[in-house]
Amino acid sequence: MKKILTIFGTRPEAIKMAPLISELQKSSEINCMVCVTGQHREMLYQVLDLFEIVPDHDLMVMTDGQTLSELTAKIILSLPPIIEDFKPDAILVHGDTTSTLAASLSGYYQQIPVLHIEAGLRTDNIYSPWPEEINRRVVSTIAQYHFAPTAQAKSNLLKEGIPEERIGVTGNTVIDALFMILNRISDSPSIEKNLQKNFKFLDSGKKLLLVTGHRRENFGEGFQNICFALKELASERSDIEILYPVHLNPNVLSPVKEIIGTTSNIHLIEPQDYLSFAYLMNRSEIILTDSGGIQEEAPSLGKPVLVLRDNTERPEALAAGTVLLVGTDRVKIIKHVNNLLDNPRVYESMSQATNPYGDGYASKKILNTILQSIWKKQ
Catalytic residue among 11, 94, 146, 214: 214
Catalytic residue flag (residue 247): yes
Catalytic residue flag (residue 336): no
Burial 203-233 (b: 16+ CB within 10 A, else e): eeeeebbbbbbbbbbbbeebbbbbbbbbbbb
DSSP state of 237: -
Catalytic residue among 11, 40, 215, 216: 216
CB 8 within 8 A of CB 97: yes
Distance CA 134, CA 127 (A): 8
Catalytic residue flag (residue 216): yes
Distance CA 24, CA 129 (A): 31
**How many Cβ atoms are within 10 Å of 358's Cβ, its own excluded?**
20
Catalytic residue among 247, 309, 330, 336: 247
Residue 36's φ and ψ, nearest 5 degrees, are: -110, 145
CB 48 within 8 A of CB 55: yes
Sign of CA dihedral 95, 278, 206, 354: positive
Catalytic residue among 13, 23, 96, 290: 96
DSSP one-letter string for 152-168? HHHHHHHHTT--GGGEE
- Which residues sit opposite 58 in a β-bridge? 36
Catalytic residue flag (residue 214): yes
Catalytic residue among 13, 23, 118, 285: 118
> Residue 71: left (phi > 0), alpha (psi -120 to 50), or beta?
alpha
Q: Give the total residue count for the chain.
A: 378
At 103, the amino acid letter reads A
Catalytic residue flag (residue 118): yes
Catalytic residue flag (residue 283): no
Catalytic residue among 13, 23, 132, 273: 132
- Which residues sit opposite 306 in a β-bridge? 288, 324
| Residues known to be catalytic | 96, 118, 132, 214, 216, 247
